[in-house]
Amino acid sequence: MPGVLTVAELCQHIRLLLDNDELLRSCFVKGEVSSVSLYPSGHLYFTLKDASHQISCVMFRQENQGLKFKLKEGMKVTASGRVSIFSGRSQYQLIVQDLKPDGIGELYLAFLDLKDKLEKEGLFDPSRKRSIPFFPQTVGIVTSLQGAALHDMISIIQRRNPAVKILISPSPVQGQDAPTNLISSLRKLQSFPEVEVVLLARGGGSPEELWSFNDENLAREIFVCRIPVISGVGHETDFTIADFVADRRAPTPSAAAELVSPLRQDLLQQLTGLKERLMRSMERKIQEKEFQRLDYLMQQLDRAFQNKVKLCDIRLESLQDKLEALNPYSILKRGYVLAAKNGKTIKTAREALLEKKGTLIFADGEIEAVFQKQPSREGSRNQYVQGNFLNRRNDLL
């Protein structure tokens, strides 16, 4: 049958049509990225779509290696390339030769990708950043010898604090080889043990001119540097990866120089503040010591007082025992009797006979008595007593 084609012939004919079409041979297509897949071969496959249509895309390894950003789902891009057919599946596809972010610069997108990557690795973690010495004796500088930034930094440091020693490790600050040279210069300064802080700086410029300070290897070298690093790159509104990983960011090279060269009046103010804090600390320590001594003395006094009270209690008990022993009523409880008249103790039988009458005091009461001489036993000192029980007591001491 005339005109009958095999499948392979038909696919080849379609391929020739596509390859010879002037529009399809070199076109620009804008759309949203989806189904991104990077194969072990290095080829990048993805789909470019809009609201109603989509087209398969492939970007071969030699082309996608030059991309400065990572292709992600949902990203809007403009792809340039040619339309061809994948004969194995009879499917047309866009063979992409270049990609540009739509609405955002390619360099800025690459900057965001690297920033996100290093931040996740902890290179920007504030807890690992080292403090900058307040009054360094030796400062290292990594920058270009031809730039105005070096002259400005040296002038500021020498004017503010001439005692600071400066070591310069020069390096190009832009161009393809700049990152490698910056890393080498940074390593050289680390070989000088007297260097206490490093200024990594350059003057202002376009994002492309500052791009050397967005290099991943340079960022990792700053991270492992044994010396604290201050970045002073560009103007105040410029930010680079080096700024985020450095121990301190200065908005300009001049500001970086000011950070390592405090003015004499700043030093005096710092010393005055230290002196005042030291005096307050000493006063507090003295007061604490005096209070401790006072507390100790109070404890000693309290113990001495308690001991004195105990001794007094013991002595009082002893005196009470003695007084109780001398109390005539204590003797009366043992069966003795006390003779008295008109509140006066009668001490002898003779005295009782002279009084004739009196009172006999017992432990449990008193009796009115008449004193008479006992009729007869020779040598006896007893007396005969008559009387009535009165059931009352007088304190006769």
Per-residue pLDDT, 108: 77
Q: How many domains does the chain have?
A: 4
Q: Which residue did the predictor score with more confidence, 388 or 236? A: 236
Q: Is the pTM for the entire model greater than 0.85?
A: no
Residues 335 and 216 in one domain: no
pLDDT tens across 317-368, in order? 888 877 777 776 777 777 788 888 887 888 888 888 888 888 888 878 888 8
Question: Is 145 among the domain residues?
Answer: yes
Short-list 92, 189, 184, CA closest to 136: 189
Mean pLDDT of 161-174: 93
pLDDT tens across 96-120, in order? 999 988 766 677 788 888 999 999 9
pLDDT category at 309 given cuts 50, 70, 90 is confident
CATH code, domain with 118: 3.40.50.280
Task: Give the C-alpha separation, 177 to 312, whole Å.
Answer: 97
Question: Is 115 among the domain residues?
Answer: yes
Mean pLDDT of 240-261: 94
Asked if the model's pLDDT at residue 10 lies above 50, the reply is yes
Residues 116 and 244 in one domain: yes
Question: Is 2 among the domain residues?
Answer: no
Please give the residue range of the domain that contains residue 370.
Answer: 331-389
Per-residue pLDDT, 293: 80
Q: Sign of torsion, CA 246 250 255 259?
A: negative
Instruction: Kindly list the distances between the CA atom of residue 114 and the CA atoms of 72, 156, 276, 338, in Å, as whole numbers in the listed order.
Output: 14, 34, 47, 119
pLDDT tens across 234-244, in order? 888 888 999 99
Instruction: Kindly list the distances between the CA atom of residue 265 and the CA atoms of 52, 69, 154, 261, in Å, as whole numbers in the listed order.
Output: 70, 49, 20, 12
Residues 156 and 268 in one domain: no
Question: Is 216 among the domain residues?
Answer: yes
CATH code, domain with 37: 2.40.50.140
- Which residue, 306, 323, 340, sits at the end of a domain? 323
Asked if the model's pLDDT at residue 394 lies above 50, the reply is no
Mean pLDDT of 246-259: 94
